[in-house]
Amino acid sequence: MDHLIKYIYTFGVSLLFVLIFTPLFIKIAPKLGLIDYPDKRCIHSKPIPLAGGVIVFLGFHVACFALYHYFWPQFSGQLNLKWWHAFMLASSFLLGIGLIDDRFNISPIIKLAGQSFAALLLYFLSGYQVNLLNLDFNFFWEMVFVLIWNLTIINAFNLIDGLDGLCSGLALISCTGLAAVFIFRGSPGDALICLALIGSCLGFLRYNFFPAKIFLGDTGSMFLGFSLANISLQAGGKGSFFVLLAALFFVAGVPVIDTLLAIWRRSIRKILTKNNDQTSIKVMGADREHLHHRLLDSGLKHNHVAYALYAVNIVITALGITYFLYSELATGMFLIMLIISCYLLVRHILKIELWETSRLFAQGFTHPVFADFSLILYLLFDLVWMASMVWVSGIIVLNGEQPFSSFGDWANRLPFWLFPVFILMFTSNTYAKVWRNSSFKDYFSLKLAVIVGGLISLSFFLILTADKNHLNSINQACLFILFSTLGIVGIRIPYHLFREWGISNPNPNPNPNAMPRQNILVYGAGQHGGLYLRARYLNHADELGETYIAGFIDDNPALHKKYTFGLPILGGVTDIEKVALEFNINKIILSTPLSDENLSLLRQLSHKLNITLLEWRAYTISI
């Protein structure tokens, strides 16, 4: 009961403070120049007061002050008085950076430097120690980890703050999940800190939800990200890298996904603009293609978009709580949800990113950094990947225990694992092949080299450990072969995957000034039809998005309504008129010789439907 009263008091102080003082700040902010004027990226149509994060910041710290000094003077928890003093100082500095940015729009580099300073200041003052994978890291690597962790979550919340009530609502949901974890782990004091932040977010959401009367600004979004980043470090514990990694998506699932997509999208476009001598795009710049923008463009209402992303975050938070409390039981469910999430992302969300990447692959990596994925890059990846898989496979076989006594032990055993595989890969000319033009035979020989090399490695260990239990060695070798094959083959197939994506999917952001897309129907689903597709993919990659191949027409009835070369066979010559009208066909490509009767019928239909009739030849002629 005592803890329940503390929960109510702490939550109530922050909630009431924000509810009372936010209307006052709404009147003061414009006089201080803290106002957001709408532009082409903005969703709102009138000026809105900015920097409401000041009130969220004050509400949180007032509640913490009351908690530490009045509600629970003998506070017990990891987020103790020393931590709060350090956090208050560091977050005050970050608040100042946010205010300056909201008022004067400072550069992203300066803002990043301010975030880094705040994260390092809290790290030094609070004395947090990192213990990952049951290994004690030195001071430098601890600092690097904490810095990356903070910058990731701070900027994830900063970038997602583009819709009324979205950032504050997502932070409220994530913080509620953290509070639940602390409570279930028997740490009510730390849960009270979460409740202070929950109260501030809920109170501010009253004025920030659509239609918003005030915005968080960078002041508030960076403070919320900074708070969740450092509270979650305590929730994740100090002994499991995987729990901490899960905490990253648990705390900032939607914002982190949105941030990763933004970096991916802008990085690809930056390379494309350099290749085409166009105006460069900034990776840290802004665009109107965040998750909430896409949902709005799909026709959802403003508040429905917020509710949809809230629901996604609630699911992520529920999975996170389950994983924190029952990690072994939740692993299967976690993997199932991961597979479903990946499918939904690719099917509905990643269209823009996949399209831009397919454009880059189609242009053949003319940028010097990516030209041809040279020998050294493939060799380095294969080495690092297989060395890592030796350790990962051992961890899995031993149920999470360290498979090697030391780093030196791991390094000493690597040659026995890797040398046979590399010998076979070199003898099969793996590093002399142009993988963007590779065939099934090339991939088969690569997989065979990894499998046979792995089996040779296993035989070495069976001979050297004749007096020991061989079951673990066999299991580890099987996992090593599986993971190595997935990685080594996987790094060599993106060109084919993205090329197929670009060919079979329309541009999600078509240029309004471009010519209308040409829809093509291919007559002949045999080998000549396949050769035409391959020739078109290789020789006309610059036309991605300008043409769309709807499928095949073929005279063999047994092939109708089936798929070949990744495209549907839509019918025979008598079905052309129906197919042409359904897919708005502009061109028909003849890839195979036709009878005079069918050719005459085809000419009549093309004339009637105003379709261009072309013949593609796949044979040699003397010159």
Candidate from 67-81, 103-117, 343-357, 425-439 with smallest mean pLDDT: 343-357
Specify the pLDDT at position 444: 94
Q: Which residue has the higher pLDDT, 352 or 366?
A: 352
For the ranges 153-162, 178-187, 271-280, 428-437, the maximum mean pLDDT occurs at 153-162
Specify the pLDDT at position 133: 46
Specify the pLDDT at position 513: 54
Which has the closest alpha carbon to 149: 251, 70, 266? 251
Can you tell me the distance from the alpha carbon of 304 to that of 296, in angstroms, rounded to the nearest whole number? Answer: 9
**CA distances, 247 to each of 25, 84, 93, 338, 519 (Å):** 34, 21, 25, 15, 47
Using the predicted structure, report yes or no on whether residue 72 has a pLDDT greater than 70: yes
Per domain, the residue ranges of the chain are 2-349, 364-499, 513-615
pLDDT band at 506 (very low <50, low <70, confident <90, very high): low
Using the predicted structure, report yes or no on whether residue 618 has a pLDDT greater than 70: no
Specify the pLDDT at position 381: 92
Q: Which residues contact 105 (CB under 8 A, 6 or more apart)?
A: none
CB count in 10 Å sphere of residue 572: 17
Candidate from 53-57, 76-80, 136-140, 215-219 with smallest mean pLDDT: 136-140
Using the predicted structure, report yes or no on whether residue 388 has a pLDDT greater than 70: yes
Using the predicted structure, report yes or no on whether residue 243 has a pLDDT greater than 60: no
Can you tell me the distance from the alpha carbon of 76 to that of 78, in angstroms, rounded to the nearest whole number? Answer: 7
- For the entire predicted model, the pTM comes to 0.76
Sign of the dihedral defined by the CA atoms of residues 225, 228, 231, 232, in that order: negative
Query: Taking residues 370-399, what's their average pLDDT?
Result: 82
Percentage of the residues of the chain whose pLDDT score is greater than 90: 38
Using the predicted structure, report yes or no on whether residue 367 has a pLDDT greater than 60: no
Quick: pLDDT tens for 201-224: 999 999 999 889 999 999 999 999
Q: Which residue has the higher pLDDT, 544 or 149?
A: 149
Specify the pLDDT at position 217: 93
Query: Taking residues 68-83, what's their average pLDDT?
Result: 87
Can you tell me the distance from the alpha carbon of 560 to that of 552, in angstroms, rounded to the nearest whole number? Answer: 9
Using the predicted structure, report yes or no on whether residue 517 has a pLDDT greater than 80: no
DSSP string, 137-183: --HHHHHHHHHHHHHHHHHHHHHH--STTHHHHHHHHHHHHHHHHHH
Specify the pLDDT at position 544: 57
Q: Which residue has the higher pLDDT, 140 or 419?
A: 419
Find out if CATH 3.40.50.2300 is the number for domain 513-615: no
Percentage of the residues of the chain whose pLDDT score is greater than 70: 83
Query: Taking residues 522-526, what's their average pLDDT?
Result: 91
Q: Which residue has the higher pLDDT, 591 or 277?
A: 591
Specify the pLDDT at position 512: 53
Using the predicted structure, report yes or no on whether residue 181 has a pLDDT greater than 90: no
The average confidence (pLDDT) of the chain is 83
Q: Which residue has the higher pLDDT, 377 or 106?
A: 106
| Residue 569 near residue 551, CB atoms below 8 Å | yes
Using the predicted structure, report yes or no on whether residue 332 has a pLDDT greater than 50: yes
Q: b/e string for 289-307 if b means 16 or more Cβ within 10 A?
A: bbbbbbbbeeeeebeebbe
pLDDT band at 371 (very low <50, low <70, confident <90, very high): very low
